[in-house]
């Protein structure tokens, strides 16, 4: 039994999942309400599922990239719950969870390239490219932040791409975008996808790893040029969600 937290975007949500099944889920999509709503929502879904914190085996948290404030709220809440329950944390990259959300809601009959886009403000988005087949999801590129124009240029290498997430509207309205692409901004990251993905593929962090765990920001909080790939040397990818092929089953 895993309780999952999603606060990386405007989505503030929590879910309880067990053996691939969503036991309970609560989501509110609104800016700047995460600190106010998250803990009451956790209480609400536990009551709804007739569970207590003692029934929870681990805490899954969407680790980023995304909103600086939202990520801090989600991770600090996850750490507090894990400490109180003496349970482990499973960190799930938000872009992986977004790609998995597409996979959950759109079973693949053929190979599809999906690019989750998370609004990074200005003309930038957080993104990565994924190949989705009946066998599951395979990440094809690094977690990155770049201008929407550059993402469009990079997408041309993949042919037809399905864009999902709250940054999709930037791509959809961009001049010259390929007619081959499809856009689904309604698909956003859900706590249920965070929890199911954590249950399927995540690794439970040790107490030492949890104590030093930081969100996957990607953006440097200094004046820099846009167009940055995730530098594994400066900020290691959370060990909770790595496989040799960067793949996970749907």
Tens of pLDDT, residues 213-245: 999 999 765 444 545 555 433 344 544 444 333
Question: Does any domain span residue 40?
Answer: yes
Q: Measured between alpha carbons, how far is 74 from 59 in angstroms, rounded to an integer?
A: 11
Question: Does any domain span residue 42?
Answer: yes
Assess whether pLDDT exceeds 60 at residue 178: yes
Question: Does any domain span residue 249?
Answer: no
Question: Do 80 and 147 share a domain, yes or no?
Answer: no
Using the 8-state DSSP alphabet, how is residue 115 labeled?
A: E
* Count of structural domains within the chain: 2
Question: Do 110 and 6 share a domain, yes or no?
Answer: no
CB 31 within 8 A of CB 69: no
Question: Do 56 and 126 share a domain, yes or no?
Answer: no
How large is the average pLDDT for residues 159-169?
94
pLDDT band, residue 171 (cuts 50/70/90):
confident
According to the model, what pLDDT value does residue 233 have?
33
Question: Does any domain span residue 21?
Answer: yes
Question: Do 89 and 213 share a domain, yes or no?
Answer: yes
* 77-131 pLDDT per residue, tens: 999 999 999 999 999 999 999 999 999 999 877 899 999 999 999 899 999 999 9
Q: Where are the alpha helices (DSSP H) in 86-142?
A: 94-105
Question: Does any domain span residue 248?
Answer: no
Nearest to 90 by CA among 64, 63, 56, 60: 60
User: Which CATH number is 105's domain given?
Assistant: 3.30.420.40
Question: Does any domain span residue 74?
Answer: yes
According to the model, what pLDDT value does residue 232 have?
35
Helix (H) or strand (E) holding 158: none
According to the model, what pLDDT value does residue 220 have?
67
Write out the residue range of the structural domain in which residue 10 sits. 2-93+189-243
Q: Measured between alpha carbons, how far is 171 from 186 in angstroms, rounded to an integer?
A: 14
Q: Is the dihedral of CA 222, 225, 228, 231 positive or negative?
A: negative
Question: Do 99 and 59 share a domain, yes or no?
Answer: no
Question: Do 89 and 194 share a domain, yes or no?
Answer: yes
According to the model, what pLDDT value does residue 244 have?
34
- Regarding pTM above 0.85, the answer is yes
Question: Do 13 and 81 share a domain, yes or no?
Answer: yes
Q: Measured between alpha carbons, how far is 204 from 199 in angstroms, rounded to an integer?
A: 10
Question: Do 129 and 82 share a domain, yes or no?
Answer: no
Question: Do 160 and 109 share a domain, yes or no?
Answer: yes
How large is the average pLDDT for residues 177-203?
93
Question: Do 14 and 76 share a domain, yes or no?
Answer: yes
Which residues, 6 or more positions from 177, have their beta carbon under 8 angstroms from its beta carbon? 152, 171
Question: Do 81 and 104 share a domain, yes or no?
Answer: no
């Amino acid at each position: 039994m895993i309780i999952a937290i999603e606060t990386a975007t405007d989505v503030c949500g929590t879910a309880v999942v067990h053996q691939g099944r969503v036991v309970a889920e609560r989501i509110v999509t609104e800016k700047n309400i995460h600190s106010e709503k998250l803990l009451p929502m956790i209480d609400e879904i536990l009551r709804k599922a007739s569970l207590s914190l003692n029934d929870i085996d681990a805490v899954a948290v969407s680790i980023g990239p995304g909103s600086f404030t939202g990520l801090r709220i989600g991770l600090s809440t996850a750490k507090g719950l894990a400490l109180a329950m003496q349970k482990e944390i499973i960190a799930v990259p938000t872009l992986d969870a977004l790609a998995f959300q597409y996979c959950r809601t759109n079973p693949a009959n053929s190979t599809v390239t999906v690019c989750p886009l998370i609004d990074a403000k200005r003309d930038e988005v957080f993104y990565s490219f994924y190949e989705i087949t009946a066998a599951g999801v395979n990440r094809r590129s690094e977690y990155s932040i770049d201008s929407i124009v550059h993402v469009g240029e990079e997408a041309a290498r993949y042919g037809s791409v399905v864009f999902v997430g709250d940054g999709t509207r930037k791509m959809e309205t961009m001049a010259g975008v390929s007619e081959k692409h499809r856009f689904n901004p309604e698909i956003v990251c859900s706590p249920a996808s965070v929890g199911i993905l954590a249950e399927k593929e995540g690794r439970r962090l040790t107490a030492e790893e949890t104590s030093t765990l930081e969100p996957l920001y990607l953006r440097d909080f200094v004046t820099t040029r846009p167009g940055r790939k995730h530098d594994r040397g400066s900020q290691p990818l959370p060990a909770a969600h790595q496989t040799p092929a960067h793949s996970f089953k749907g």
